[in-house]
Structure 1
Amino acid sequence: MNKKRSSSLIAGLGALLLVTQAQAQETLYLFNWSEYMDPEIIQQFEQRYDVKVVQSYYGSLGEMFSRLQSGGTSQFDIIVPSNYYVPRLIGAGLVQPLDKSKLSNAGNVMEQFADPSFDPGLEYSIPYQWGTTGIVYDTTAFPDAKPSWSLLFDPEVNPTQPFAIQQDGQVMIGAACAYLGKGGDCTSLDDWRAAAQLVLETRQRSNFSGFVDGTPVLQQVARGTVKAGITYNGDFLLKKDEDPEGFANLAFMLPEEGAEMWVDSMMIPKNAPHPELAHKFIDFIMEPEIGAQLSNYNQYSSPNQAAEPLLDDALREPPSLPTDEQMAHLYFSPSLEGAQLQQFQQLWNEVRSR
């Protein structure tokens, strides 16, 4: 064999080896909210474990749930649902229990999140971030605004300024229940009906702009399309940092009647293609430095006790971290299943369609 042919063969074998190695490289499939992950964290995970991370995004929890029901349990390795969807995912058989022997950093979870009612003992989930749901509003339109849901629900408080509300039924019914003095975690059918009637009357007012979710509404308020809407504390802070001029006259409030406190958690779908890698990713996120990096990027609170000393100062004060007085008025949206969930969905569909 001559030298030229020998070199060509070696080059060909080398190229084949590189292709084979690339094909053998594991891939983690992450299904998450958009703009909810620091790209540098993904790069660090890829480099440490010599893997590839492919991210897909959902705009609502309902969208995520439907995707899993239609085959998504075998398409994704990690999902990031909110607390009230966790029992629903477990009950539907869409997620698998965690192997705690593979999660050396699970002990970093703060005590207040270590044994939640929605997943006792964290058998299926590990907290990712936590935050609050409140009202974003234009202070020039509402210079004397009080921290109250009346800014949206009371036509005397806001008779003319355009406003939006969220599409998520549990967010809206919870807010209405809180405003009516029934507690934001209300679950009785009579309370739901009263809250649904209030939301229905609210959406029939002439200055109701529409159903707009938490992130898009921030841009609408910044542009002046609407003057008030419902959003999340971390999203508000993040967008304010990105556009300080556009957000100069905007503020975020937690209504004193009660506001939602939520926890987003990492879970592994039932038929995840790479469950071992999924456990590595969860454990990676729970490292103190990575947990702090995630919160410093998202501007949401960290459920990681070991990450707390590494957080930015802004994450130690409102609106990122509620005051003790505000914490006393926060509630978790209840987890609904079975016939109770069907009743709720039917009621909310009626509100949306009328």
Structure 2
Amino acid sequence: MPLPRLNSLLAHGASMARAVAVLAALALLPFAPPAAAQTKETLRVLAWPGYADTDLVRVFERRYGVHVEITLVDSDDALWDRLRANRGADFDVFAANTAELRRIIDEGLAQPLDLALISNVSRQLPRFRDLSSLPGVVRRGQVYAIPYTYGEMGLIYDRKLVPEAPTSLTALWDPRFQGRVLAYNGSSHNFSLAAMSLGSKTPFRIAPAETRKMIERLVALRRNVRTFYTSPEESVELFRENRVALMFANYGVQQLQLLQKAGLDVGYVIPREGALAWLDCWAITRGARNRRLAEQWINYTLEEPVSTALTERQGLANTLHEPAHLAEGARLFWLEPVEDAERRAALWRRIIAGDPPERF
């Protein structure tokens, strides 16, 4: 009710009770926020911890006059479930690795990007500007994702026990280190690792005729290692307590930093065969409410302060600068879906349980 009408009632001797009743009625009316608040858009981001820190999000919000809603996931399965729950309509932009991107695109949950609106891709290292060389990023000539951060799986060695840095994956099988090697307890990665150690250029596609050779290779690895670990923290404890000489670093530089913080004198190398590596990319959902705003977010994360913060705060490599530990030209095998994940898992369970090669 307009205020002039209320003043008129009071001026003409209306009872105080009536005025109070009018005020009470006004109080019950729904509150209408300012027009700016009503029209402020919300960008819904699905990401991993460390990819959207609060202070960096606030800068984006102020710049574009929007609200950013962050939802964090801690596993690929959680990411997949979130995206599939409402056919991608619950989020606008998300971060996923190249192996996951393939099935996300297959499911129709992502849409192509307009690179003309993401100008900061020009800041990225050459290996990330060549999008056609990255698995899962381009489909039928259209770009679906932009690289953001990555990590490779090299070799960590004790400088005192291994005076000369190892140069090959075959060091994991070296009998000189028997009982002083740590490897990761993961079926898919280990079959790929075995293939790479034998010179394969396609470690994610092992032909049926090559399977027995890989089994024999992994049984030999099992016989040479101290044990297999699952988490970064477990690997640090095992490394320290068992005078480990060499470790396949499934978590890469993260493990290196943990070991160094524990006071161990360790080195880190990428072997000449190359290294398995994960690559997380930003992509836009099929159900995005404002594609332009989502592309502005991707562009923003490729600015120098944001990408640098990712490295300084999280210890993750960014796509603008080559990390100090990674030699120029080092070969990285970006993770891809494998030929038969279930079969790899079933065979690995038998290998780690102790089955000899002749039983396969």
Q: Where on the TM-score scale, by shorter chain, does this alignment land: which range?
A: 0.7 to 0.9
- Closer, same or farther in 2 for the Cα pair 1:13/1:286, shift >3 Å? farther
Match of 1:130 among 150, 158, 161: 150
| Residues 121-174 of structure 1: CA deviation (Å, up to 9, x unaligned) | 66101110234221334445655662433454x2724322362405361x3322
**1:70-149 aligned within 5 A:** 70-71=85-86, 73-114=88-129, 115-117=131-133, 118=135, 119-120=137-138, 123-139=143-159, 146-149=166-169
Instruction: Give the number of the structure whose alpha-carbon radius of gyration is greater.
Output: 2
- Distance change >3 Å, CA 97–CA 254, structure 1 → 2: same
Structure 2 CA distance for partners of 1:149 and 1:65, relative to 1, 3 Å: farther
Partner of 1:351: 347
User: Can you list the C-alpha shifts for 1:2-25, whole angstroms capped at 9, x where unaligned?
Assistant: 89969x889969994569987865
Per the alignment, in what secondary structure is the counterpart of residue 44 of structure 2?
Answer: strand
SS at structure 1 position matched to 2:262: coil
Q: Is the 8 A contact 2:183 2:225 kept in 1?
A: no
Does the residue aligned with 1:58 lie in a helix, a strand or coil? coil
Identity among equivalent pairs (%):
21
Per the TM alignment, residue 81 of structure 1 is displaced from its structure 2 partner at its CA by 2.2
CA deviations over 1:219-256 (Å, ceiling 9, x no partner): 5457648943423444246x45xx85415333322223
2:304 to 278, 288, 292: 288
Rounded to whole Å, the distance in 1 between the matches of 2:243 and 2:255 is: 15
Q: What is the distance in 1 between the residues matched to 2:142 and 2:238?
A: 38
Q: Which runs of no fewer than 5 residues in structure 1 stay unpaired?
A: 309-314
Partner letter of residue 181 of structure 1?
A: G
* Counterpart-to-counterpart distance in 2, 1:225 and 1:133: 21
- The match for 2:3 is none
Summarize the Cα distance change of 1:284–1:245 in structure 2 as closer, same or farther, 3 Å threshold. Answer: closer
2:327 counterpart residue number: 323
- Displacement of 1:48: 2.8
2:71 to 48, 51, 55: 55
> 1:282 Cα deviation (Å)?
0.5
Contact 2:144 2:283 (C-alpha < 8 Å) held by counterparts: yes
Aligned partner of 1:265 among 250, 257, 281: 281
**After alignment, is 183-192 or 263-272 more displaced?**
183-192
The amino acid that maps onto 2:199 is: G
Partner of 2:333: 332
Task: State which drifts further: 289-298 or 276-285.
Answer: 289-298
CA deviations 1:171-201 (Å, max 9, x no partner) are 3322211112223645241345533443355
Q: CA deviation at 1:64?
A: 3.1
User: CA shift at 1:94, angstroms?
Assistant: 2.5
Instruction: Please tell me the root mean square deviation across aligned C-alpha atoms, in Å.
Output: 4.1
Contact 1:95 1:270 in 2 (8 A): yes
Q: Which residue of 2 aligns with 1:177?
A: 195
Q: Distance in 2 between matches of 1:151 and 1:145?
A: 10
Q: TM-score with structure 2 length normalisation?
A: 0.71
User: Measured at CA, do residues 67 and 142 of structure 1 come closer, stay the same or move farther in structure 2, by a change above 3 Å?
Assistant: farther
Closer, same or farther: CA 158–222 of 1 in aligned 2, 3 Å:
closer
Equivalent position SS for 1:81: strand
Distance 1:194 1:219, change over 3 A: same
Q: Deviations over 1:274-301 (max 9, x none)?
A: 5443222111112233333333334444
CA distance in 2, matches of 1:10, 1:142: 82
Letter in 1 for 2:104: L
Partner of 2:265: 249
Distance 1:352 1:283, change over 3 A: same
Q: Which residue of 1 aligns with 2:186?
A: 167
Query: Would the aligned equivalents of 1:103 and 1:283 in 2 still touch at CA under 8 Å?
Result: yes
Aligned to 1:312: none
How far is 1:80 from its partner?
Answer: 2.0
- Counting only pairs closer than 5 Å after superposition, residues 206-285 of structure 1 correspond to structure 2 as 207-210=226-229, 212-213=230-231, 215-216=232-233, 219-220=236-237, 224=241, 227=244, 228-236=247-255, 239-240=257-258, 245-272=261-288, 275-285=291-301
- Per the normalisation by structure 1, the TM-score is 0.72
User: 2-side partners of 1:73 and 1:168: how far apart?
Assistant: 30
Asked if the contact 1:162–1:226 (Cα under 8 Å) also holds between the matched residues in 2, the reply is: no
Residue 156 of structure 1 aligns with an amino acid whose one-letter code is P
Which range moved further: 279-288 or 194-203?
A: 194-203
Structure 2 CA distance for aligned equivalents of residues 196 and 35 of structure 1: 38
